[in-house]
Amino acid sequence: MIRKIFSYDVIDRIGRELMKKFILLLFSFFLLCSCHTNDSTINGVVYANVYTHYKTLQPYICLTFDDGPDQVQTPKVLDLLKKYGIKATFFVLGEEVEYQKEMLKKVVEAGHEIGNHFFKHDNIHKLTEQEIRESIVKNNELIKEAVGVTPKLVRPPYGIVTDTLKKVCKELDMDIILWNKDSKDWDKTPDSTIIKNMLKSPANGDIMLFHDGSKTYTNTLSSLDVIIPSLQKKKFEFVTISNLLDQ
């Protein structure tokens, strides 16, 4: 008699395991496809990626800060991030970088990521294509001069995205980063409201928006001092935008 090498139970078990792996891979694919806009071509024009969040299987969340660097507020933000051992992404304005190059160096030396927030905080609906390009390029050059790094990420002022912006960013090989959780800390929103909104239904791949561009945003620091440890207790890990997109 020929001895059976595998029983039907073993074969069935192997089949179930393979099916689980297939479903997991399929699920991962749909997660990634559901959370951002890929490069697209319309009438022969190729547009850049636009991300509001980026779903991952890992419990990753991104903290982002706009409008800095600021000589008073940014150091306080850096101290808070150091306190909890986390990294963030700072979208900086060129007109601030011009006079705060040493502060920008401190952000980079602390291991955080730098993104481009235009030279000035302009409404891009009022800018021509050339003015949009010049604002991004000028800021990139200032950042490169200050810290030796050219950003690959751009966040338009007010989160305004147009086809012109997407076209320019594709030509500059830059991704557009928005957010799906807005603290509205710039609007003197009470701490309790910020904390409640930012901790509501946290999910893998969330991108949170805060600001470090003014010392008047005291609620930024106090609310984050609650939000960060609360999410860490839920096993979320804070990473930079580039780390998130690498998943």
CB of 178 within 8 A of CB of 155?
A: yes
Higher pLDDT, 243 or 3: 243
pLDDT at site 32:
44
Q: Is the pLDDT of residue 70 over 60?
A: yes
Task: Please write the tens of the pLDDT for every residue from 10-62.
Answer: 445 555 665 555 444 444 444 444 455 555 665 567 899 999 999 999 999 99
pLDDT at site 126:
97
66 given a catalytic annotation: yes
125 given a catalytic annotation: no
Instruction: Please pick, among 66, 175, 185, 206, the residue that the annotation labels catalytic.
Output: 66
Task: Please write the tens of the pLDDT for every residue from 83-131.
Answer: 999 999 999 999 999 999 999 999 999 999 999 999 999 999 999 999 9
Lowest mean pLDDT among 30-34, 68-72, 170-174, 221-225: 30-34
Computed from CA positions of residues 95, 100, 102, 108, in that sequence, does the dihedral angle turn out positive or negative?
negative
Q: Would you call 223 helix, strand, or coil by DSSP?
A: helix
pLDDT at site 46:
82
CB of 103 within 8 A of CB of 79?
A: no
42: which DSSP letter?
Answer: E
126: which DSSP letter?
Answer: G
CA distances 106 to 69, 71, 211, 225, Å, are 10, 11, 17, 21
Task: Please write the tens of the pLDDT for every residue from 142-195.
Answer: 999 999 999 999 999 999 999 999 999 999 999 999 999 999 999 999 999 999
